[in-house]
Amino acid sequence: MYSRIIGTGSYLPAKTVTNFDLEKIVDTSHDWIVSRSGIHERHMAADNELTSDLALQASINAISAAGISANEIDLIVVATTSPDQIFPSTACILQDKLGIQNGSAAFDIQAVCGGFVYAMNIADLYIRGGQAKTALVVGAEVLSRMLDWNDRTTCVLFGDGAGAVVLRASETPGIVACKLHADGSHRDMLKADGNVRNGVVQGDPFIKMEGQAVFKFAVKVLSEVVEEVLEENNLKGSDISWLIPHQANIRIMEATAKKLGLSMENVVVTVAKHGNTSAASIPLALDTAVRDGRVKAGQNILLEAVGGGFTWGAILIKW
Ligand code: UT7
């Protein structure tokens, strides 16, 4: 038994913020942001939009593309670092907003920018193990609310958005292989260490990142994990039709593509328009490439991501 993606969807909040807009509020420049990260603009949620609202729209689009009814979904996994509230989980809120009342499991997973590959792996295992038949896997973030708008080293990088896939049990792959890793000893390189104690926020609730150290770590572990997945499946870089990376930085994506011997023509890049949307970036990029016809039946698709924790992983899909 395998799991197979039968529908993708995404949602971006209406408001866009360009690098030129950011020049007005922080000491930065369009040229610096583009040359260091590849980002031109990002979307930002409206004040009344929650992570679950973004997740809902992306899920509706994925469910519609899959041609199923929401009540067929028997597992919801939401990857997010910016949940609506401390609890309940955004997945439970999403289940309710989708009107699903079949009592099936719904939970969030927290692996920061590595979240979507973690969530997909979990849903794949549920389906392979026979515990679910139709899973909704979502990456959704409103990171704009976790940014210190006086910190130019972080506030120019991130954006809001959501992406979703419907995974269904299938006799044929589908998801061919998943590899996940984590190393908590690097947890201070990228963090928001605030927590609520006795009703008061302790520590720093804003995202802090040692950019250069994260950059070097990301290039190293992503190269390793994509090679690990390909080797175990007797594939070469040239067998991959599309690399769909976490969209943090165009230079990290170029380094991974180079390691695989892939041209950038085979890499789906949305970072220019979305910025870094953390757990949402891969399903947003995947949905873009599915809907514009780049992703086609029979192709080998490789997803990869790295994020705070540190967590990282890769997923090989036969489309
Ligand atoms: O999604 C999870 C994983 N996250 C990532 O993968 C992000 C990884 N890191 C990166 O993408 C890059 O390190 C950044 C885009 C964050 C930064 O690029 P960089 O080439 O590593 O720049 P840097 O941090 O070495 O900073 C270079 C200079 C510094 O000035 P000095 O010390 O050379 O005078 C910074 O203060 O650029 C300065 N700087 C800025 N200048 C204008 C930092 N942020 C800005 C800014 N605008 N927004």
Task: Kindly report, residue by residue over 205-259, the tens digit of the pLDDT.
Answer: 999 999 999 999 999 999 999 999 999 999 999 999 999 999 999 999 999 999 9
Q: Kindly report the protein residue whose alpha carbon is nearest to atom 21 of ligand 1.
A: 212
CA of 204 to the centre of ligand 1 (A): 20
Catalytic-role residue among 92, 113, 155, 178: 113
pTM for the structure as a whole: 0.97
pLDDT band at 264 (very low <50, low <70, confident <90, very high): very high
Q: Using a 6 Å cutoff on CB, does residue 152 contact ligand 1?
A: yes
pLDDT of residue 218: 98
Catalytic-role residue among 43, 121, 246, 249: 246
Does residue 1 contact residue 171 with C-beta atoms inside 8 Å?
A: yes
Domain boundaries, the chain: 2-171, 176-318
pLDDT of residue 239: 97
pLDDT of residue 214: 98
Please say if 246 is a catalytic residue.
yes
What are the residues facing 10 on neighbouring strands? Answer: 163
Please say if 274 is a catalytic residue.
no
Give the amino acid at 306: V
Q: Using a 6 Å cutoff on CB, does residue 252 contact ligand 1?
A: yes
Q: Which of 285, 312, 208 is nearest to 38 (CA)?
A: 285
Give 67-80 pLDDT, tens digit per residue.
999 999 999 999 99
Domains 2-171 and 176-318 share a fold: yes
For residue 310, whether the previous peptide bond is cis, meaning omega lies within 30 degrees of 0, is yes
pLDDT of residue 63: 98
Q: What angle do CA 128, 164, 269 make, to 5 degrees?
A: 110
38 contact partners, CB below 8 Å, separation of at least 6: 249, 250, 251, 269, 271, 272
Ligand 1 pocket check: which of 110, 212, 220 to mutate, most ligand atoms within 8 Å of Cβ?
Answer: 212
pLDDT of residue 75: 98
197: how many CB neighbours lie within 10 A of its CB? 9
Q: Give the separation between CA 61 and CA 164, rounded to whole angstroms.
A: 8
DSSP sequence for 15-58? EEEEHHHHHTTSS--HHHHHHHH---EEEE--TT--HHHHHHHH
Mean pLDDT for the stretch of residues 70-99: 98
Give 134-168 pLDDT, tens digit per residue.
999 999 999 999 999 999 999 999 999 999 999 99
What are the residues facing 7 on neighbouring strands? Answer: 166
Q: Give the CATH architecture of domain 2-171.
A: 3-Layer(aba) Sandwich (3.40)
Compute the mean pLDDT over every residue in the chain, rounded to the nearest whole number. 98
pLDDT band at 265 (very low <50, low <70, confident <90, very high): very high
Q: Using a 6 Å cutoff on CB, does residue 115 contact ligand 1?
A: no
Instruction: Identify the CATH homologous superfamily for domain 176-318.
Output: Thiolase/Chalcone synthase (3.40.47.10)
Strands 15-18 and 2-11: unpaired
- The residue with tokens 């789906």 is 268
CA of 64 to the centre of ligand 1 (A): 40
Does residue 310 contact residue 190 with C-beta atoms inside 8 Å?
A: yes
